[in-house]
Structure 1
């Protein structure tokens, strides 16, 4: 099942994508797609519906983050060995955890707005893991039972803020529009092996990133188990699991960074695609 939300900011409606690729409105049954919707009971109720009986949305327009009530936006750094190498950083012995601010969330086609003094903003296609059941000190063997589904994430990052301004990485990760999520939340039953997914990103039509989740240093199950030792994972929380090589910072000898007018297109196999136009700082463009 592919769940989504469509409409302008502040007036989104819940929907699902049927087997024919048509958007079907859920507004007559749900006020929104919430963490409660993502529980086992909530998803079972949705699976019992006949999508063909739901209204077709011919022109959904803008898509938003596929669910509301996202409480924590947790990220895993350096989780692909070849990305760690291109960043010139040692391979971690344990998962590197950092956070993105909830205020950076945006939809899968929203503009990417560079901060006023940005000089080194970069791209990172990633697999997102959406929690559906409270996870607290769970075992690796039981970890995937706590996952509601998966999605595409672009961990947009301002490298100067991240690496040159002192403190943690969070400074370069939470700028407005730096957390596009979607287009859909694909439920876990449709992703039998999260370690077998191709992911890619293009900049201005040129392929920059090609990877597969099988080359992760730490698997999805390991990550969910590990993070649950340090914080309680709650329904609706999102874990972004790291990026393969091909980020702008890693291009030698001259790194490439985002500039106004650039076009990003990215996706994960079976989870949909995102497209973003990069803009100079303009508060009017912020959702």
Structure 2
């Protein structure tokens, strides 16, 4: 069981930022975000690889990403030193009910029970930050992306976050989500792979989603 807090970041996909440029120029935003847009996945969301995730009768978005395990506290850390604070890495599947707006908190859509399956942690190597992440549904590859698409790479993200909050040892940072992540429905299974990282699997079934 994780000892710390899991932090996620939205709007860190360069392709998504370009797609939303006109939206950000209009009210209520009036400008694109300047700082990282952070959210928390509470402990009720945590699930192990192979877990059964209950989602009711609605489709959910399954965004595969990397979770970086912070090994020692990062506070006001320079980007050049940021990755030295990372002790491990895992595959993560950030599940949410699809929604368009980021203006108001979306806790009921993003933070339901089991809405963060996590793979086993492996030793961190910087090369994983350029390796393609592949999502398969029912055995068929449906989505591919690499963290090279991020507006802030992992080191910059850690540095920018640690400028106003401490990332404590034991915390996990989800580095960003692909805007074009696939959706699944009850009865489907998801498998996520990336390089030599331990495979992440989840089974989505109908039932109470929280």
Q: Give the structure-1-normalised TM-score.
A: 0.63
- Unaligned segments of structure 1, at least 5 residues: 1-67, 249-256
In structure 1, which of residues 101, 105, 113 is the aligned counterpart of residue 42 of structure 2?
101
Structure 2 residue 177 is matched with structure 1 residue 243: yes
In structure 1, which of residues 186, 210, 225 is the aligned counterpart of residue 144 of structure 2?
210
Mapped partners of 1:242, 1:270: distance in 2: 20
2:74 is matched with which residue? Answer: 135
The answer as to whether partners of 1:143 and 1:222 remain within 8 angstroms in 2 is: yes
1:71 is matched with which residue? Answer: 4
Cα 1:205–1:83 change in 2 (3 A) is farther
Structure 2 residue 122 is matched with structure 1 residue 186: yes
Q: Higher relative contact order by CA 8 Å / sep ≥ 6: 1 or 2?
A: 2
Alpha-carbon shift at residue 208 of structure 1 (Å): 2.2
Structure 2 residue 85 is matched with structure 1 residue 146: yes
CA offsets 1:126-155 (integer angstroms, 9 cap, x no match)? 011110001111111111111101110000
Structure 2 residue 45 is matched with structure 1 residue 119: no
SS of the residue 2:200 aligns to: strand
The answer as to whether partners of 2:59 and 2:186 remain within 8 angstroms in 1 is: no
SS of the residue 2:152 aligns to: coil
1:18 is matched with which residue? Answer: none
1:39 is matched with which residue? Answer: none
How many aligned residue pairs are there?
202
In structure 1, which of residues 175, 200, 224 is the aligned counterpart of residue 134 of structure 2?
200
Alpha-carbon shift at residue 222 of structure 1 (Å): 0.8
Alpha-carbon shift at residue 163 of structure 1 (Å): 4.2
Cα 1:222–1:187 change in 2 (3 A) is same
CA offsets 1:14-68 (integer angstroms, 9 cap, x no match)? xxxxxxxxxxxxxxxxxxxxxxxxxxxxxxxxxxxxxxxxxxxxxxxxxxxxxx3
Mapped partners of 1:201, 1:92: distance in 2: 28
Mapped partners of 1:247, 1:99: distance in 2: 19
The answer as to whether partners of 2:128 and 2:195 remain within 8 angstroms in 1 is: no
Mapped partners of 1:192, 1:73: distance in 2: 20
Cα 1:124–1:263 change in 2 (3 A) is same
Alpha-carbon shift at residue 85 of structure 1 (Å): 5.3
The answer as to whether partners of 1:71 and 1:102 remain within 8 angstroms in 2 is: no
Q: Higher Cα Rg: structure 1 or 2? A: 1
Mapped partners of 1:127, 1:242: distance in 2: 8
2:112 is matched with which residue? Answer: 175
The answer as to whether partners of 1:70 and 1:102 remain within 8 angstroms in 2 is: no
- Unaligned segments of structure 2, at least 5 residues: 25-31
Cα 1:71–1:209 change in 2 (3 A) is same
